């Protein structure tokens, strides 16, 4: 060893050793750590095969493939961790080393699903390449008996534990390079494996989808998932370098972005151009790079009305008429309309503005719901349009998440909270104070948000997606509600003793705003009207739930089980032995709803009863799932209501298994884009369904039947008395 002084006065040392019979040396700065045998060999152009070692990661020496023969040593040391010493005599490819390496590779190949996903995709699985170089065609060792499984939960990375060789490169990539600390080892012996957080599925863990683990993995254990129709086609291709300049893509692996580059397109819109239209189905989200956009509802905010000649020949012409609020309505109109964007629309002025750095279309992209609003470029605007896998990367990115959180707190939290009638009296000052204390949380489809019986610590507002609320009883599970954007849950348990009264499960990709119990209690104490309103709603819901519970315990009648009638809470039943087919019920329904009947006097027959095609107020209202603007909702008891901001996408009508929701067409005069001074009629649609005429004790169809043939019944009670006698003519 000799010490030298370089021109920059860094003290260096030389280490002399023998490498494969040649006398060589390496120079190192005194302050630097001693190089390993692997590094030293590399400097002299000798490649020692390895699996667990990667240049940018701290070596750990777990695979032992990089072993070398050092004269005078008891065992073959791992070259990636063994420091070089003066005078070492090293053989990198002696017969003994080759035999040891071959055995190690054969052992690893015994459990490896050859060819693995990476080998199939790009023929560069490092283990299988090593096996090929070593001339290993078949391993003499038996594979493991217990499978290790797969994890397909992530949108962008496929996890195959069967192909994992426990090299820990992914763990070191996640922790040392990206500092995300998601990955770790779990278990021992045959139970050993890689896990995300506390052995959670990758999608539900805190993984940010940076892709570093996938890039680090030497085998097909972590591979990039190709999304179907990943190629967005038209539009300008996006360079990875340009994407990485944006904050939102910082800390995302460049390789990973490159693999997904076909899932992003840059698009430019001139001022006035439509970017997306409400009601259209889609699978992409938009991120505004520069420019401004308007977001609004182009569907008229009204119910439809059908007017025409009455009498024997009637010609139907559908026109618009402003709805009149009937007397006795207990519901207060919402002040804001929830949409799939960073803001809500005010009911009395449904237009908002988006600017650079904002994202819209998340719900459409993640859950394939229809577009909730029309977005038009206010100025010349450039956007990134992206598919789900790229959006997933964005949503998990900490920088982006922090920015969207901030935007939501500033722009939408207030209108979201105060848009709920019960909370309309909460002051802006309180909301400003609350802003920094709320938490935005994401849940994957099927993930449990809160469990019945658990202690309650929070109140939730739904920002994106749908939450299914169910109650578990000895007789079965009862779906209480589907809550979409603009809705809330968790208040009943906070009011009533601190124990969750229902299970809340994410039906799709859900994001909620979590308000802690302390802040919720402070809100109730500061605003007594809010407390009163919530207590009234809670009492009504509790009474309704008790009634539902009683219904569950009633023995069902076999005759109607198969037709889905068990799901109904209210059926319109016509006694065909009394019904003279006069259609007074249909006419009355039309009269009560601006000329459009919401019932069809045809449907399932049971003995002499006809179950008319009219909303059944199902226990599990599938129609409510997916409404992009929250227009279809349930009041606190039974009836399903469709609000007048329905955009006519038809999703509820498609979802209803019984065909009880109809899309009514109406004409709207719009400006012809080809000839601006000319108007053309455009056909739009609105959804209609029976709402049980909530302003009266009895629905109009039942009230108007002259022969006492029409009845709205609870199916269980009604069919339990199936054999009642028909009455006489003049009774």
Partner 1 sequence: MWFIGSVIVLAVGVLLYVPYSLRSVDGVSGGSGPGLAYGILGFAMMIFAGLLGARKRVRIWRLGRATWWMRGHLWVGFLSFPFILFHGGFQLGNGALSRALMILFLIVFVSGVLGAVLQHFLPKMMTERIPMETIYDQIDHVENQLVVEAAQLVADASAMVEQAIEQQEEAEEKAPFAAAGKKNAVAMPDERVSAKIKAFFETQIKPYLTSRRSQKYSLTNPVQAAAAFRQLKLLVPDTVWPKFDDLESICGEKRELERQRYMHKWLHGWLLFHVPASYALILLGAVHAFVALRY
- Residues of this chain that interact with partner 1 (CB under 8 A) are 576-582, 584, 587-588, 591-592, 600-602, 605, 608, 696, 698, 700, 703-708, 726, 729-731
Q: Cβ closer to partner 1: 56 or 726?
A: 726
DSSP string, 407-440: HIIIIIHHHHHHHSGGGTT--HHHHHHHHTT-EE
CB of 240 to partner 1, least distance (A): 56
Of residues 500, 246, 528, the one with CA closest to residue 393:
246
- Which distant-in-sequence residues (6+ apart) come within 8 Å of 223 by Cβ? 117, 118, 121, 157, 158, 160, 214, 217
CB of 612 to partner 1, least distance (A): 11
Could you list the beta-strand ranges (E) of 203-271: 222-224, 236-237, 264-269
Of residues 198, 204, 175, the one with CA closest to residue 186:
198
Q: Cβ closer to partner 1: 320 or 606?
A: 606
Contact by Cβ (8 Å): 352, 375:
no
User: Which of helix, strand or coil describes residue 128?
Assistant: helix
Contact by Cβ (8 Å): 540, 638:
no
| C-alpha to C-alpha distances, 296 to 278, 312, 338, nearest whole angstrom | 9, 42, 11
CB of 657 to partner 1, least distance (A): 22
Q: Cβ closer to partner 1: 439 or 602?
A: 602
Q: Cβ closer to partner 1: 32 or 698?
A: 698
Q: Cβ closer to partner 1: 398 or 707?
A: 707
CB of 590 to partner 1, least distance (A): 9
Q: Cβ closer to partner 1: 297 or 701?
A: 701
Q: Cβ closer to partner 1: 140 or 328?
A: 328
Q: Cβ closer to partner 1: 559 or 670?
A: 559
For every residue of 568-602, which 3-state class applies, written as one string?
CCCEEEEECCCCCCCCHHHHHHHHHCCCCCCCEEE
Q: Cβ closer to partner 1: 579 or 627?
A: 579
CB of 711 to partner 1, least distance (A): 11
Euclidean distance between the first and the last CA atom of the chain, given in angstroms as a whole number = 120
Characterize 42-51 residue by residue with b for buried, 16 or more Cβ atoms within 10 angstroms of its Cβ, and e for exposed. Answer: beeebebbbb
CB of 605 to partner 1, least distance (A): 7
Characterize 79-114 residue by residue with b for buried, 16 or more Cβ atoms within 10 angstroms of its Cβ, and e for exposed. Answer: bbbbebeeebebbbeeeebeebbebbbbebbebbee
Give the C-alpha separation, 115 to 323, whole Å. 65
CB of 316 to partner 1, least distance (A): 13
DSSP state of 622: G
CB of 586 to partner 1, least distance (A): 9
What are 687's two structure tokens? 């959804």
* Orientation of helix 95-110 relative to helix 126-133, angle to 10°: 130
CB of 637 to partner 1, least distance (A): 21
CB of 710 to partner 1, least distance (A): 10
What is the Rg, in whole angstroms, of the alpha carbon atoms belonging to the chain? Answer: 34
Q: Cβ closer to partner 1: 246 or 600?
A: 600
Give the C-alpha separation, 652 to 662, whole Å. 9
Q: Cβ closer to partner 1: 307 or 398?
A: 307
Residue 179 gets the label, from left (phi > 0), alpha (psi -120 to 50) or beta, of left
Contact by Cβ (8 Å): 269, 380:
yes
CB of 561 to partner 1, least distance (A): 21
């Amino acid at each position: 060893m000799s010490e030298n002084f370089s021109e920059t006065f860094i003290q260096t040392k030389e280490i002399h050793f023998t490498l494969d019979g040649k006398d060589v040396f390496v120079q190192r700065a005194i302050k630097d750590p001693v190089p390993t045998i692997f590094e030293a060999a590399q400097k002299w152009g000798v490649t020692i095969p390895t699996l667990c070692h990667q240049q940018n990661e701290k070596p750990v020496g777990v695979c032992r493939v990089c072993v070398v023969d050092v004269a005078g040593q008891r065992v073959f040391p791992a070259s990636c961790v063994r420091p070089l010493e003066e005078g070492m005599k090293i053989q990198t490819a002696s017969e003994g080393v080759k035999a040891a390496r071959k055995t190690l590779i054969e052992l690893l190949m015994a459990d490896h699903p050859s060819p693995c996903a990476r080998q199939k995709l790009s023929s560069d699985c490092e283990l299988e390449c090593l096996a090929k170089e070593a001339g290993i065609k078949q391993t003499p060792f038996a594979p493991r008996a217990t499978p290790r499984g797969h994890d397909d939960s992530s949108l962008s990375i496929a996890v195959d534990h069967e192909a994992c060789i426990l090299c820990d490169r992914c763990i070191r990539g996640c922790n040392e390079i990206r500092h995300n600390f998601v990955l770790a080892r779990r278990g021992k012996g045959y139970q050993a494996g890689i896990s995300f957080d506390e052995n959670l599925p990758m999608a539900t863990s805190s993984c940010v989808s940076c892709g570093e683990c996938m890039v680090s993995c030497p085998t097909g254990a972590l591979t990039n998932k190709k999304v179907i129709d990943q190629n967005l086609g038209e539009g300008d291709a996006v360079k990875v370098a340009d994407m990485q300049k944006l904050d939102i893509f910082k800390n995302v692996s460049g390789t990973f972005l490159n693999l997904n580059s076909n899932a992003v397109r840059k698009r430019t819109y001139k001022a006035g151009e439509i970017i997306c239209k409400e009601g259209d189905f889609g699978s992409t989200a938009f991120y505004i790079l520069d420019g401004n956009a308007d977001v609004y509802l182009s569907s008229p905010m009204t119910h439809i009305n059908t007017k025409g000649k009455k009498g024997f020949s009637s010609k139907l012409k559908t026109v618009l008429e402003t709805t009149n609020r009937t007397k006795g309505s207990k519901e207060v109109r919402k002040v804001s309309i929830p949409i799939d964007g960073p803001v809500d629309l005010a009911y009395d002025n449904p237009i908002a503005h988006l600017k650079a750095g904002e994202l819209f279309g998340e719900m459409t992209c993640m859950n394939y719901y229809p577009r909730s609003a029309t977005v038009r470029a206010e100025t010349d605007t450039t956007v990134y349009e992206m598919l789900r896998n790229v959006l997933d990367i964005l949503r998990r990115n900490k920088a982006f998440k922090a920015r969207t959180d901030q935007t939501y707190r500033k722009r939408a939290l207030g209108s979201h909270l105060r848009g709920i009638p019960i909370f309309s009296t909460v002051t802006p000052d309180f909301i400003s104070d609350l802003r920094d204390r709320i938490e935005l949380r994401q849940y994957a489809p099927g993930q449990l948000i809160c469990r019945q019986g658990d202690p309650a610590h929070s109140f939730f507002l739904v920002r994106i997606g749908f939450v299914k609320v169910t109650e578990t009883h000895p007789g079965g599970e009862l779906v209480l509600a589907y809550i979409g954007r603009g809705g809330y849950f968790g208040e009943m348990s906070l009011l009533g003793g601190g124990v969750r009264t229902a299970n809340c499960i994410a039906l799709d990709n859900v994001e909620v705003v979590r308000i802690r119990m302390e802040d919720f209690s402070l809100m109730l104490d500061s605003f007594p009207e809010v407390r009163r309103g919530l207590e009234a709603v809670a009492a009504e819901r509790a009474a309704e739930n008790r009634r539902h519970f009683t219904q569950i315990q009633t023995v069902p009648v076999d005759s109607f089980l198969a037709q889905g009638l068990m799901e109904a809470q209210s059926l319109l039943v016509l006694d065909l032995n009394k019904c003279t087919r006069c259609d007074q019920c249909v006419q009355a329904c039309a009269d009560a709803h601006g000329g459009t009947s919401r019932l069809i006097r045809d449907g399932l027959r049971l003995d002499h009863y006809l179950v008319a095609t009219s909303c059944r107020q199902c226990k599990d209202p599938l129609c409510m799932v997916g409404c992009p603007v929250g227009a279809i909702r349930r009041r606190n008891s039974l009836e399903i209501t469709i609000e007048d901001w329905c955009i006519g996408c038809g999703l509820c009508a498609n979802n209803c298994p019984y065909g009880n929701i109809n899309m009514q067409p109406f004409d709207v005069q719009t400006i012809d884009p080809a000839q601006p001074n000319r108007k053309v009629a455009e056909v739009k649609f609105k959804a209609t369904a029976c709402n049980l005429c909530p302003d009266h004790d009895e629905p109009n169809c039942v009230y108007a039947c002259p022969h006492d043939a029409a009845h709205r019944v609870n199916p269980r009670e009604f069919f339990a008395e199936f054999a009642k006698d028909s009455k006489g003519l003049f009774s």
